[in-house]
Amino acid sequence: MSEQKLFQVFINKLEFDLADYLVSGEEHELTDFQKKMIESATSIMKDNIIGEIKSFGGNLKVNDEKFKELENSANEELQNEEYEDIKKELKNYTKKLRELIEKTCVVIIPVKEMPWVDILFRTVPRITFDKKLEVLDNAIAFYGEIKCVLSRSMIFGKMKGEQPLFAPIMGTLDLGGYKLDESQKMPKSQIFSYVSAIINSFDSAITKNHLAKYHEGYQRHGDPICDFLIKDNELMNSMERITTGIESDRLSSDIAVCSIAFPQVADKTTLVLVTDEGKDPNKFSRCFEALLRFSAECCNVPSQQPHAPVQMAPQQPGAVRTPGGQELKIWTAEELAEEAQKRMTTQPDTPTWSEEELSKFAAERGSGIPEGMEVWTEDELQKLTRKRQGGLDIPEWKEDESMKGCVKCGYSLRPGWSRCPVCETPVGTKPELEPIEKTKEEVSEVPKEELMEESKGVDTEEPKEEPLEEVKEEKEEE
C-alpha cells in the first residue's frame, strides 16, 4: 500500500471531526489567524451587512480533554506494524492537528440586496502528506443558499490544456460516506461537517469524472443549465480567475473542481459554494465575486424546478433480456455511484496508480515488452505446439540420405536403379564432363549413329563460335 493510502487509513480510523472543536467567537477569544481571516472576508461587503455577524473558531483550550483522548487513540493506532514505514512522520500528526484546529474558522454574515439571506465564509486548512506532513492554510470558501431549486447539481472546474467548464453531476454526489441528519432544523449551509464533506468531494475521483465525462463524452454540450451558464461571458471570466488546486500545486492531477450548485429539494433552496486556493490577498474579493455571479445566474436559469424528463427514472425490470430470455440486472447512475463508493470504503488496499506510473505503462506498451510480461523460449514454444496437436509428437520431415539424386534432373533414385525414370540418365554418370575438342577430320570419321548414342543423357557443351568460323574458313580455302 502506498504511503498516501496508509495515511488516509490512519486518519479514517481516528474518526476526527473538526466540527467538535468549534466554539463561538463571542464567548471565547479567537486566534490571531482566525481574526485576520474573518476581517478580510467581512470587509469586502461591509456596506451590505445587516444585523450581527456570528463567528466560530477552532479552540483547543476549551476542548483540551477531548483532544488528549484523540492523542491517545493516535498513539495506540501507531503501534500497528502496517505504519512502520511512515511511523516517524505520523508521530507529528497530532501536532499538525493542533495547527489545523487553530486555523479553522467560520462566520455567518447577514446581507441585503443579494441572492442569499445569509452568506457564509470559512477557511479550508488541509493536512497533506508527501514524504512529510504539512498544513496548507491558504484555501477559503464563500457559500450560501439561494431560494430556487435547480433540477440537478452543477460543478465548475478546470482541466489542464482546456477551457474551464460547468458540468452536471450525473448521479449522486460523492460525500465520502457522510450521512446528513435530516432531523436538524438549522439551514444545511450552517452544518459545518456537511459543508466539509461537500468541499472534500471536490478531490474525489468520482466527482472529477463528472467533469471529464461532460467534456469528453458530451463535448461540453447538452445540459440546458450548463449550456446557459457557459454562454455567460462575465460569469465565465469571473470563474476562470479562481485559483484551483492545479494552480496552487496542491494537486498532481489534471482536473480540479472548485465550485458547486447543490439542490436542497426538501428546503426548496440550492447551496452554491466557491473555493479559492490562492495565496494573494485578492482571493477574498475574487472568490466572493465568483459566488455572487454564480448564484445570480442560477436564479435565472431557464427551468428552476425539477421536472420528470431531467430526473433519471429507473428502468422497468426485464427491460433487457438475453436471446435465451434471461433477465439482466439494470443499474441507475445513482446505484452505480453508491456501489463505487462502497468499494472505495470497504477495499482500502485496492492498488492505485499515479499519473506518472500510468504514463510509464503506456510508454512501455508502445515501445517493446513491458516489465513483467511473460516471455517463452524456443523449447517452451515447441512444447506448446505439441500440446495443441493433441499430445502427438509428430517428427519433422527429413531427407532420406540413402537415396541419391539424379545428376541431371535431381529426382531421387532408389538403390538398384540403373537409369533415372524421368530423364533416362544412367546412374553413376558424372555431373560434369570434360570438354571434348575434335578436329575436322575426327568429326567427319565418326559415324552419325555413334555420335547420337554418345550424346544420350550427356550434356555436352555447345561448340564455340570461334572454332566454327575456323572450319568455315578451311572449307573456303579448299
pLDDT at 474: 52
Q: Which conformational region is residue 391 in: left (phi greater than 0), alpha (psi within -120 to 50 degrees), or beta? A: left
Whether 171 is in a domain gets the answer yes
Residues 104 and 144 in one domain: no
> What's the grid cell of residue 339?
456501489
Whether 97 is in a domain gets the answer yes
> What's the grid cell of residue 269?
433552496
Which domain covers residue 146, as residue numbers?
139-314+331-341
What is the maximum alpha-carbon separation in the chain? 149
State the residue for C-alpha cell 550424346. Answer: 455
Q: Which one, of 191, 275, 198, 183, lies nearest residue 22 by Cα?
A: 191
Whether 218 is in a domain gets the answer yes
* Tens-place pLDDT, residues 126-172: 998 887 889 999 999 999 999 999 989 999 999 999 999 999 998 88
Domain count of the fold of the chain: 2
Q: How far apart are CA 226 and CA 168, in angstroms?
A: 7
Q: Sign (positive/negative) of CA torsion 198, 202, 203, 206?
A: positive
Q: How far apart are CA 117 and CA 105, in angstroms?
A: 20
pLDDT at 368: 61
Q: How far apart are CA 291 and CA 259, in angstroms?
A: 9
Whether 407 is in a domain gets the answer no
> What's the grid cell of residue 193?
461537517
Q: How far apart are CA 379 and CA 381, in angstroms?
A: 5
Residues 129 and 182 in one domain: no
Whether 7 is in a domain gets the answer yes
State the 10-residue block means of pLDDT for the chain, 478 residues long: 80 88 92 95 88 93 91 88 83 91 95 86 92 91 94 94 94 87 86 95 94 91 92 95 94 93 92 96 95 93 51 43 56 76 67 75 65 75 74 62 79 82 82 50 52 50 48 50
Query: Among 295, 323, 341, where does a domain finish?
Result: 341
Whether 144 is in a domain gets the answer yes
Whether 406 is in a domain gets the answer no
pLDDT at 458: 47
Residues 11 and 36 in one domain: yes
Q: pTM for the full model?
A: 0.64
Residues 281 and 218 in one domain: yes
Residues 112 and 261 in one domain: no
Distance from CA of residue 259 to its chain's centroid?
A: 22
> What's the grid cell of residue 108?
455567518
SS3 call for 132: strand
Residues 188 and 121 in one domain: no
